Structure formats: C-alpha cells, structure tokens
Structure 1
Amino acid sequence: MTRLVLLLVLALVGCSTAPKSDVVKLRFLSLAWQKDSVAVNKQIVAEWNRTHPKVQVEYVPGSWDSIHDQLLTSFAGGEAADVIHNSSDDLSEFAHGGYLADLTTLLPPGLKADIPEATWETTRFKQGVYGVPFLQEPKVILANRALLTQAGVRVPTPDKPWSWDEFAEITKKLTKDTSGDGKTDQYGFAWPMKQPVSTMLNLALNFDGKFFYPHDGKLLATVGPAEREVLQRVHAQLHTDGSAAPGALGMSGSDSLPGFFAGKYAMVFLGLSYRQQMRQQAPKGFDWVTLPPLSGTGPEQGVSPQTLSISEDSPHKREAMEFIDYLVNPANTARLALGDWMLPTSTKAMAAPELNVEQFGWNVGVAAGASLRTSPSQRVRGYAEWKDKIATPAFQQYFRNQISIDELSRKLTEDGNRVLARYQR
C-alpha cells in the first residue's frame, strides 16, 4: 500500500512539473472571398505567426452570405472566434447584446489616430467602440467606353461628375434598338438590385435623404421628399424613359457582367471591388472605364465599412487587439485594399502610391472616398428585420411597378416602424 501511494505521489509531481504551453492561440474569422484578397489575408496571418511565436493565429474562412446567422449560432454556443470580420451595419445587435468586446481601452493610439473620427462613428454604440473599420467601398459606374464615345457624351470626372439630370439624358441617348426590330436591345444603364435596400438608402444621401430620424428617443423610418428623390429617378428610368434594363433588377452585381460585356447595357452601377472581376472576366479588347458616382445636391453616399471585432468571450482580448493592429497597419491595409480592390479607411494607407494611379480607375475610387458618409442604417436597432421582412419586398415591388411610391412609403414607415418599435422600447 505504501509503495502504491508513493507511486501516485511521484506521478502527481511529474504532472505538476511537466512544461505547460504558454502559446496563446487565436481564431480569426475572415470573410475575404476574392482570390487575391484571400491570398493577402493568409500571407499576413503567416507573417504574424512567424514573427509572434507566443501568439499564434488560426485563419478561419467564413461567408458574407451567412455571417449574421453564423455569428448568432456561434455566440449562443460559446464558439465564436476571437477576431471577427464583419461589416459595421451588422454590429449593432451584437454590440447591444453583449457579444462583442468594447475596444475603447484596447485601441492603440496610433491605430485610433490613423482612422478619421467620422469613420469610427460607424462602429460606436452605447458610448463604446465595437469594431475597427478598415476597408470601405463606394459605388461607382462602370461603362463601355466605346459606346460612350459613339454617342458623343461627356465623360465625367471626379471634379465634374454627372448630375442626376444629366445622367438621365445620357442613359436615354445610350438606349437603342440596334437591330431595327422595334425592341430595345441596348439599354443605357443596369441597376443590379437583388438586394436593393442598402443601395437605395446609401444613394439617398445624394439628396440628404436619411430614411431614419429620431422620434421620442427612437430611430424610426420616415420617407419624405429627400428620400423619394433617388427612388423616383430610378423608377422613371425603368418605367417612363425605358433607359434602364428591367431584367437586371433581380441580378447580383456578378450576374450583370455578362450582359454588360455583350453590350446589352452601356453602363452598370456596381461597387468599386467589381473592377477586379472586370479585369479578370472582360472579353479581350473590351474597353471599360470607371466613372465617378453621381451628384444630387451633393456627391455624398452612405457606406458601411468592413470591420474587425473581438468576441466578448475571448480570454485573450489584448493579444487579439495586437493582432488586429498588425493586420491593419498602414502597409498591410494598403495590401488588403489592393487585394479586395476596395479603399482603406487608414489615412496613411489611402495615400499609398499604388492606390493613387489612373489604371483601373483607382484614382476615381480614391476621390469618391472623400464623399463617403455613415450609412443611414448604421444605428437603427432592428434594421436587419426591417430590411429583410419589410423593405426588401417593398422596394422590389416598387421597382417592378407593382406598387406606387406612396404605397412604398407606407410599407416602409407604418409596417416597418412596427418592426423597429419592438427593438427600441
């Protein structure tokens, strides 16, 4: 019996003196999807792991199509990654729900100073900061240069963009029956709006339309003259002028590219990142050009930057922030922007020479960055349900000419505010 006790004691001593791993392990959920972007993200993670042996990062791929539901599940199950890639308009519910860490005291001074204060506002909730905004994407016009030249239209510049009125006249001029069969086979424009809500809300800022206004301490939907401006102009192109392709309405941005390459529409409204697909997929000899955003009372448009957050349940918040600071330092942010064909939020990265060139319209994108503002949806609790259950089907019905602008307004406000009220009691 004594020998057995001695053996047990020795075994326990051996366990207590065995070396313990002091390597911190972090999981980084990344939503990068374009080939170049995935490669750059993985390269930066590998570089971090080589130079930080005590803090190792695992790259975990995710999908923009399912990120909201994925996070709901992972938070509820206590399985969330330490560092989470998302967009600022999806942070509100997670921040208010206590699932994301407040980064206020974790942010390094250099990182905080390099991103404009107005951009930090996109991730500020409850007097806290719940994400680091690092990439942003203006919407631009991609055009068939040959068709513009043939029509003799003025090519806009960042200093002198098209007004909405000039744009309407140009799209009519570019709309043609090229075969002579009495049917339009070349439209002036395509609005790919499989997901129309964020597009219309962000463009409304062209006319200072905000869609959500404070009422008795709540942010509720309101559709006034400013909000109707862009909606009615797009509707007129579709159903009055016939200058916008109705078949493009249900398309995603990628879906619209084959028709654009085939000359079915002279121009298409897309995010800046689609230039990468243009470069990769455009037929040989297809001459395309990036045109600046339109201007109403001003050129402003809304944006919801891509963000990096830290899970509240992460036991390694300090190390997670050190990794984020490395991932989005100015040099790396410029690499990420090039890989995603988007714009950095970093002031220093925005000045990178490789982003300020005319090739592929980078200079047009950088100029558009100065007019980006916080998306109207940013601080609206309940926005995701309002968008999915009310606004998306209502916008689709309106642009298909199935309901009037007044009925659209009623749905967004009366029906929509009943949804929002549940979140803002």
Structure 2
Amino acid sequence: MKNRQKKRSIAALSAIVALSSVLAACGSNTSNDGNGGSDSGKPVTLKVMSSTIVEKPAGEIEQELADEFMKANPDIKIEFMGLSQNDAFAKITTLATGNQLPDIFLNTSDFYATANGMGITADLTPLLGEDFVKGFYPSVLKESTIDGKLQYMPWFTTPIALIYRTDWFEAEGLKPPVTWDDFVKSAQKLTKDTDGDGKADQWGFGLVGTNNSSGTYRFLPILHSFGASELKQDADGKWVTDLDSPEAIEAFQFFGDLANKYKVTPPGAMQNAYAENVTLMANDKIGMVISGSHSIAGLIEKNPKLEGKLAAVPVPKKTEHSSNLSAFGFSISEKSSNKEAAAKYLKFLVEKENAIKFFEGTGRMPTRMEAGDDARVQSPVYKGFLDAQQYAVPQPVVSFFSQVQSAVGTAYQAMLAGSTKAETAATKAAESVRSEIERNQ
C-alpha cells in the first residue's frame, strides 16, 4: 500500500514538472542561498511558508513571535512566504518539483502523507530532541507521524466539540448534553417562537449541511459517535468502509431527523455553511453548534456580549464520543541546509508562554501538555475542547480521502432533503467509497 501511494505521489510530481517555469519568482533554493547552515555559525535566513501569517489576528501574533525570536537570535532572520491554506499544498508540490522548497513549510493531516511520499520532510524527532517530542499530547503526535517519522511539528489544533450558550442552558435548567438523547431534548427546549407569530425564530442547533470539507468535518464525529466509520483498515491492512452498516444508517437518519423530524435547526440546512451558523449564533438565533475551538474567538468578535456566555463539551454520543483534531504545524524541508536553526525556531513557537499567547488571540489549542495544563487554557470555555482531544479519530492516510468525504456529504444531504431513505443513502455512499478503494488498490 505504501509503495503504491509513493508511486502515485511520484506520478503526480511528474505531471506538474511543466509548471517549473513559474518558480523563478519564488526565490532560490534555501540549500543554495549563500547563508550556510546553522552548523557553519554564519548568519542564517530561514524562509518560512505559512498560511496563518496572512490571517487576522493569527498573522499579527505569528509576526510578533518571529520578531521576538529574531531579537533573541540576531544571527537568524525569519522571512515569511504567506499564502492561503487552500493554495498551499499545490504550491508546496510545485516548489518541491523545482527543488525550491523553503526551509520551513506548513503541513497538516490532509497533506502529510503526500509530503512523506514525496520525500520532502525531514524527520523532526532527532532535530527537536526525543525528550522534547514527548511533551506533545500523544493524540497530536499520532496525527503528525507516519512510520515512526514525525512529519511536522504540531503548532496548534482546533479540536471539534459542541459549543453551547451557557446562559440559555441555565435559563432553561438544562445540563450540557452527554448523549444524543440529551442533545435532542435540549435542542427542542431551546427552539422557540420568540415573537409570537407562530413560527420558530430561535433554534436549538446550527447544522452545517453543506457537502464540502467544512460539512463533513462536523458530520464525521457524529458518524463515529454511533460506532460507524467512513474508512478504516481491517486486520489485513486493507481499506474498508462500513457506511452501510446499521450504525451508519442510524447516524444518517438521525442527522436528517434533526432538520425534518425534530425541527431544531434553522431553515436551509443544506445551504447553511459554517459562516452562516457563526452569524446565526452571534445574532442569538441558535444555542448550540458543532465546531472547532477557533469558533469561540470568532463568535465573540462578531458579538462581544457573548463573552462569558459560551462553553464547550465533547460531541454527544450514541456509543462513544468522537472528535477531529485538525492539527496544523510546520515541516522542515529535507533539503534545507538550515535544519538546526529551523528546529530552534519551531521549538520557540511552542514554548509555553508563546503557545498560550497564540491560543488567547486565536482560540487555537496548544499541542504541548505543559501549555494545555495551564489555568488559562483549562477555563470552562475551552476545557471541553481539551477533553474532546482524547476522543480524536485520526484521518485515514489515503490519497482519495476527499472522494470519501464527498460520498458522505452526498448521503447526508439526501437525508436533509428528505427525499431518500437512510438505507438507500448509506448504500450509495458505501458503494462509492468501495469503488474508490478498488481504484486505488
């Protein structure tokens, strides 16, 4: 399987060699930039490809940290290459083809298998130090390691959990839901006609029903909580799916029932994406939403009056809790001549106070236990996300996972539309995934 994935990665590289003409504008190879490596004792310029540097407020904090690092290490200069995460992985692939990768580049669980197959990531364990690496949460390391090789240093995570309005729950005498039965009862109680016109204008739950990564990111923990999996390896290491299992069928039915039977979601669930639900919650229209820790900061930015009125708990369960980590971090290029300086910078980013500074400004969770144990992170607002991390299900490391997501999204949208039986939607999704597995064997 690993050899086949590597062959596909090599084939993908060969297909884009023609794009190498665009590389001249992207700077020269860091291994030939004239700065020398950190071993030489000469001044070093670290080129860092980052998507967070172009975000607000994340980029401002990242630049502040880089400035502090350069002040403490005057022989090392940080030079950012900023771009959106949506464009990053194609850009990394192109730069790798032309041997033009920066010293440090962003990496996530969506790309690290591809990067590993391309042979462009240095093993970070010896660079960071084994004792240092042990300080990361085990679940985070699991999502950034392949075949015992630490592909990228996890900088932060955005674990998924259930965010809820504490003031609304207190007013109704409700406790944070643990099971889906608890959840439905709470959602029904929070769904109301507040203006007396006979129509609900406040809802218990903001459902993200779009068929894209944002939608599947929030649905898959629900699927897992029923004991089903979209893709997993069997005892022989072969990829299989149980999307047409009784557990999966029940999960799809439950998702559709939230909108069609219980009516605890705003109208237009199939079109309501993440942004719409954040706006609805900020405008006092919904009481619960499944999302990542970064949403807390986004909600308060839209409505400062929500400060102190939000908290989170793990996604409710039928049989087990579940979460996604969405770990984000940085890799060091295998061909960088500045590996030691790069490792020094990466270790600086996750030092306790630096990690907490980034967390407080963005809501993105620290990846090291010493920072996660701090009282500032263990607040009632964010503790639910920390608790959710222990239930994280690693994303399957396959090149066709986006097709798996699309099949799942098509199935739950069919349920939201109310035009298909759960068994039918689940069967079609399973057939689609099995076709992808066969195509990629």
TM-score by length of 2: 0.80
Alignment-derived partner of residue 24 in structure 1: 44
Q: Provide the identity percentage.
A: 21
TM-score by length of 1: 0.83
Quick one: distance in 1 between partners of 2:283 and 2:69?
Answer: 44
CA deviation after TM superposition for structure 1 residue 287, in Å: 7.0
- Match of residue 78 from structure 2: 57
State which of 398, 404, 407 in structure 2 corresponds to 1:380.
398
Displacement, 1:168? Answer: 0.6
- Cα pair 1:26 1:82 within 8 Å, conserved: yes
Query: In 2, are the aligned partners of 1:87 and 1:305 still within 8 Å (CA)?
Result: yes
Question: In structure 1, which of residues 158, 165, 174 is the aligned counterpart of residue 190 of structure 2?
Answer: 174
Which of 407, 411, 418 is 1:401 aligned to? Answer: 418
CA contact (8 A) 1:121 1:374 kept: no
Q: How many residues align?
A: 396
Contact 1:381–1:420, Cα closer than 8 Å, also in 2: no
Write the distance in 2 (CA, Å) between the matches of 1:100 and 1:20. 21
Query: Is this contact kept in 2: 1:397–1:403, CA < 8 A?
Result: yes
The Cα offsets for residues 199-218 of structure 1, whole Å up to 9 and x where unpaired, read as 22233333343322225532
SS at match of 1:35: coil
Query: d(CA) in 2 for partners of 1:91 and 1:45?
Result: 24
Measured in 1, the distance between the counterparts of 2:305 and 2:359 equals: 26
1-structure distance, mates of 2:58, 2:350: 14
Question: Is it true that 1:335 corresponds to 2:357 in the alignment?
Answer: yes
Shift of 1:149: 4.3
Match of 2:373 in 1: 351
Say if 1:148 and 1:108 are closer, same or farther in 2 by CA, change over 3 A: same
User: Does 2:343 align with 1:321?
Assistant: yes
Change beyond 3 A, Cα 1:310–1:175? same
CA distance in 1, matches of 2:159, 2:35: 49
1:306 Cα offset (Å):
1.3
Could you list the runs of 5+ residues in structure 1 that have no partner in the other structure? 1-18
Displacement of 1:372 after TM fit? 3.5
Aligned partner of 2:124 in structure 1 is 103
User: Counterpart of 2:238?
Assistant: 218
Is this contact kept in 1: 2:312–2:383, CA < 8 A? no
Whether 2:327 is the aligned partner of 1:309: answer no
Asked if 1 retains the 8 angstrom alpha-carbon contact of 2:230 and 2:408, the reply is no
Deviations 1:71-122 (A, max 9, x none): 3333334333321223223211221232323334323123211013332111
**What is residue 434 of structure 2 aligned with on the other side?**
417
Give the one of 148, 166, 174 matched to 1:154. Answer: 174
Q: Is the 8 A contact 2:109 2:327 kept in 1?
A: yes
| Larger of the two Rg values belongs to structure | 1
Distance 1:378 1:308, change over 3 A: farther
Deviation of 1:54 (Å): 2.9
Mean CA deviation greater in 38-47 or 411-420:
411-420
1:108–1:325 Cα contact (<8 Å) kept: no
Q: Matched residues in 1 for 2:35 and 2:363: separation?
A: 43
SS, match of residue 290 in structure 2: strand
The alpha carbon displacement at 1:20 in A equals 8.1
CA 1:124–1:175: 2 relative to 1, 3 Å: same
CA distance in 2, matches of 1:199, 1:268: 9
> How far did 1:285 drift?
7.3
| C-alpha spacing 1:294/1:310, structure 2 compared with 1 (3 Å) | same
Contact 1:96 1:125 in 2 (8 A): no
1:345 Cα deviation after fit: 1.6
Report deviation, 1:187.
Answer: 1.9
Show structure 2 runs of 5+ residues with no match.
1-33, 37-41
Q: Does 1:362 align with 2:379?
A: no
Task: Give the Å deviation of 1:136.
Answer: 1.6
Alignment of 1:190-339 (within 5 A): 190-194=206-210, 195-215=214-234, 216-223=236-243, 224-282=245-303, 284=305, 288-296=309-317, 297-339=319-361
Matches within 5 A, 1:138-149: 138-149=159-170
**Matched position secondary structure for 1:209:** coil
1:23 positional shift: 2.4
Q: CA deviation at 1:286?
A: 8.1
Tell me how far 1:267 sits from its aligned partner.
Answer: 2.5
Instruction: Encode CA deviations 1:297-334: one digit per residue, 9 max, x unaligned.
Output: 33332323112212233333333222212222233222
- Quick one: distance in 1 between partners of 2:76 and 2:118? 28
CA distance in structure 1 between the partners assigned to 2:51 and 2:391 by the alignment: 22
Moved >6 Å (runs of 4+): none
Matches of 2:398 and 2:375, distance apart in 1: 37
**2:256·2:412 contact (CA, 8 Å) conserved in 1?**
no
Partners of 1:97 and 1:409 in 2: how far apart? 35
Question: Mean alpha-carbon deviation: is it higher for 101-110 or for 321-330?
Answer: 101-110
Question: Are residues 322 and 385 of structure 1, via their aligned partners in 2, closer, same or farther at CA, if it must alter by over 3 Å?
Answer: farther
CA separation in 2, counterparts of 1:341 and 1:330?
15
Residue aligned with 2:77, SS: strand
Residue identity in the other structure for 1:222 = D
1:145 CA displacement: 4.4
* Residues 306 and 193 of structure 1, relative CA distance in 2, 3 Å threshold: farther
The separation in 1 between residues aligned to 2:94 and 2:232, in whole angstroms, is 31
Alpha-carbon contact 1:196-1:396 (below 8 Å) kept = no
**SS in structure 2 opposite 1:201?**
helix
- Give me the CA root mean square deviation: 2.8
Shift in Å, 1:34: 4.8
Q: Relative to structure 1, is the Cα distance of residues 285 and 335 closer, same or farther in structure 2, using a 3 angstrom cutoff?
A: closer
What amino acid maps onto 1:417 in structure 2? R
Cα pair 1:111 1:329 within 8 Å, conserved:
no
Q: Deviations over 1:42-84 (max 9, x none)?
A: 1111122222233322122222333333333333343333212
Instruction: Give CA-to-partner distance per residue, 1:231-278, whole Å, 9 cap, x none.
Output: 332211111111122424433333223322333323322221111122
> How far, CA to CA, are the matches of 2:257 and 2:164 in structure 1?
21
- Provide the secondary structure at the position in 2 that maps to 1:185: coil
- Aligned CA distance change for structure 1 residues 266 and 347 (closer, same or farther; 3 Å): closer
Distance 1:73 1:395 in 2: 35
Alignment partner of 1:185 is 2:205:
no
- SS of 1:302's equivalent in the other structure is coil
- Secondary structure at the aligned position of 1:106 is classed as helix
TM superposition shift of 1:26:
1.6
